[in-house]
Structure 1
């Protein structure tokens, strides 16, 4: 239990720091003075060590997330992942010279307090692992959700960033649920597990949808919608269907901690794309 909590916090630190490093890599590529676009811009960015370090931290964060999802309740893991925005805000303030407003410093403190309450109140991970039908349903829903996101990306104009961000969040929530539905982490079992393929499809599809949402310009709306989409329903799913629970008598404390941490993350939603603050003026 304790190890799973530590891994969830490590995932938040790694992913939050990775966002800033990738932003620094993009800034140095743009500051090189060479006009480039498309694949040329990507090639320049990939040659910068901060961006590569950010990718490595993202990978470590995802690995830590997988470990935590197998040992602690979903509501704690998802709240911890949302708190990566607080890490991004603090690191960006130091590394990119971004000035945080008083409300944002209060939100960082709120996220920390909320996670502390959740860590105290969380019980053991539920024993429910879902049946074969549930795993196939998750696999069927995943590509349908990604396709729906692509349709929305082409047809919706008003509120596009928020809608795409919300769908991306739903995809990331599917990743968390699908990980919990994995029978075990053995290579042979993973190759035949429907939920393993759901993890891959939902993760990649959600990432592409989030990039498109952020590129729509309304970073705060996209990130806020993503945070809600990836936290609320997986937490409810874990409690109602997988048996996640709090310690006896700590349910209200857990609810308060979850609400405070998510509210703090929403206040910090503008840091969902730190690259916009890293661009040279």
Structure 2
């Protein structure tokens, strides 16, 4: 659980940096669609710093997924919005109101319940069908991310946010589906490609969502996509369980954590800034 919370801290801080870089990249123009925006963002030091934090967070996430159920890790990662809110308040001078501080406290309470009630990771191996399903979802997320600029304005944030959430969810499940790190077995496992493709596609969709459509809707959709689906997969197909007699507490903690994260959805992105401020920040 400590590793899961460490991942949330890394991801939450990275979001603020990446959001500022995405806005700056979009303001530069230059065409190229969503891939062009991503390439321009990669030349921003903030985006690179965010990627470094994302890399460290991913290491913590893998360690957590190897120790506790997916539902606990997913809820902890959703709490990165609470981290984003606190970082935004500190670095971007965004004022948190009483309700938002309450939401941060709610997230922490939910995570405490999950930490107390979560059992060990499930011991059921994933089937070939599940592995190929994850690869299929990753390809679908990639398609949505590449088509982000051509999506109807109405509902664009919702679609891109869900796509990003599903992509990150694919990463969570795929980590559990990789049993061996032997090069030959890694190359033969569809989950390996699902993990790589899902992560890259999620970043593309998230970058597009950060500068298109409603940020609050997109972030809320991402939280739902990366928590609910993977949690169900872990319980139904991978054997994730809770401590004896504490299933109710785990469900309550999961719901409370996600609800608190949704209340903080507007902190999924840094506040909108003028290009001049972004470039000089």
TM norm structure 1? 0.86
Matches within 5 A, 1:159-198: 159-198=155-194
- Residues 71 and 230 of structure 2 are in contact (CA less than 8 Å); yes or no, is this contact kept in structure 1? yes
Superposition RMSD on alpha carbons, in Å? 2.7
CA deviation string 1:8-35 (max 9, x = no partner): 11100111112234456679x79xxxx9
**Whole-Å separation in 1 of the counterparts to 2:20 and 2:155:** 29
Question: Could you tell me how far apart the structure 2 residues matched to 1:123 and 1:256 are?
Answer: 15
1:143-154 → structure 2 map (5 Å cutoff): 143-147=139-143, 150=146, 154=150
Q: Helix, strand or coil: the match of 1:276? A: coil
Matching residue of 1:268: 264
- Once the two structures are superposed, what CA deviation does each residue of 1:152-172 show, in whole Å capped at 9, x if it has no partner? 763433211112211221121
What are the equivalent positions in structure 2 for 1:93-172 lying under 5 Å apart?
93-147=89-143, 150=146, 154-172=150-168
TM-fit CA distance, 1:78: 0.5
Which whole-Å deviations, capped at 9, do the CAs of 1:49-98 have from their partners, x for residues lacking one? x5443221111001111221122100011111110010011111111111
Query: Could you give the per-residue CA deviations for residues 215-235 of structure 1, whole angstroms, max 9, x where no partner exists?
Result: 223100000011001101111
Structure 1 unaligned regions, length at least 5: none
Contact 2:145 2:208 (C-alpha < 8 Å) held by counterparts: no
Between 160-169 and 73-82, the greater mean CA deviation after superposition: 160-169
Q: CA deviation at 1:213?
A: 2.2
- How many residues in Structure 1 have an aligned counterpart in Structure 2? 271
**What is the aligned partner in structure 1 of residue 6 from structure 2?**
10
> TM-score, structure 2 length as denominator?
0.86
SS across alignment from 1:100 = coil
Query: Gaps (5+ residues) in structure 2?
Result: 31-35
Q: What's the CA shift for 1:41? A: 11
